[in-house]
Chain A
Amino acid sequence: MATQHSKAAARLMIAPAVIVLLLWMIVPLVLTLYFSTLRYNLLMPGGTPFVGMENYQYFFTDPAFTTALVNTLLLVGGVLLITIIGGTLLALLLDQPMFGQGIVRLLVIAPFFVMPTVSALVWKNMFMNPVNGLFAHLARLIGIQPFDFLAVAPLASIILIVAWQWLPFATLILLTAMQSLDSEQIEAAEMDGAGALSRFFYIVVPHLSRAATVVILIQTIFLLSIFAEILVTTAGGPGVASTNLTYLVYIQSLLQFDVGLGSAGGVVAIILANIVAIFLMRMIGKNLDA
Chain B
Amino acid sequence: MARSVTRSRKIVNTTIAWAIGLIIFFPILWTVLTSFKTEAEAISSPPSFLFFDWTFQNYEAVQERSNYFRHFWNSVVISVGSTILGLAIAVPAAWAMAFVPGKQTKNILMWMLSTKMLPAVGVLVPIYLLFRDMGLLDTRTGLVAVLMLINLPIIVWMLYTYFKEIPGEILEAARMDGATLRSEVTYVLLPMAVPGIASTMLLNIILAWNEAFWTLNLTAANAAPLTAFIASYSSPEGLFYAKLSAASTMAIAPILIMGWFSQKQLVRGLTFGAVK
B28: chain A residues at CB < 8 Å are 110-111, 114
B252: chain A residues at CB < 8 Å are 113-115, 118
Task: State whether the Cβ of B50 lies closer than 8 Å to any Cβ in chain A.
Answer: no
B274: chain A residues at CB < 8 Å are 214, 283-284, 287
Task: State whether the Cβ of B190 lies closer than 8 Å to any Cβ in chain A.
Answer: no
Q: Given A21-B152, A98-B14, A285-B110: A228 and B27 within 8 A (CB)? A: no
Out of A172, A187, A253, name the residue touching B3 (CB < 8 Å).
A187
Q: Judge whether A32 and B106 touch: CB under 8 Å.
A: no
B217: chain A residues at CB < 8 Å are 250, 254
In Å, the complex CA distance between A7 and B101 comes to 9
Report the minimum CB–CB distance from A228 to chain B (whole Å).
4
Give the residue name and chain of the B residue nearest to A261 (CB). Answer: B125
Q: Judge whether B25 and A107 touch: CB under 8 Å.
A: yes
In Å, the complex CA distance between A253 and B218 comes to 13
Task: State whether the Cβ of B176 lies closer than 8 Å to any Cβ in chain A.
Answer: no
B108: chain A residues at CB < 8 Å are 14, 18
A94: chain B residues at CB < 8 Å are 17
Task: State whether the Cβ of B96 lies closer than 8 Å to any Cβ in chain A.
Answer: yes
Segment from B52-60, B62-70, B85-93, B192-200 that makes contact with A: B85-93
- Give per-residue flags for A1-18: 1 if the beta carbon is below 8 A from chain B beta carbons, else 0: 010001101110110111
Q: Given A7-B100, A94-B17, A97-B1: A117 and B117 within 8 A (CB)? A: no
> Interface majority SS on A: helix, strand, loop or mixed?
helix
Q: Given A126-B34, A249-B124: A176 and B270 within 8 A (CB)? A: no
Q: Judge whether A10 and B256 touch: CB under 8 Å.
A: no
A-B contacts, 8 of them at CB < 8 A, read A27-B130, A90-B20, A98-B17, A117-B234, A132-B43, A211-B275, A227-B213, A273-B119
Q: Point out residues on B near A: beta carbons under 8 Å.
A: 1-3, 5, 10-11, 13-14, 16-18, 20-22, 24-25, 27-28, 30-31, 34, 43, 45-47, 89-90, 92-93, 95-97, 99-100, 102, 106, 108-110, 112-130, 149, 152-153, 156, 206, 209-210, 212-213, 216-217, 226-228, 230-231, 233-234, 236, 240-241, 244-245, 248, 251-252, 255-256, 258-260, 263, 266-267, 270-276
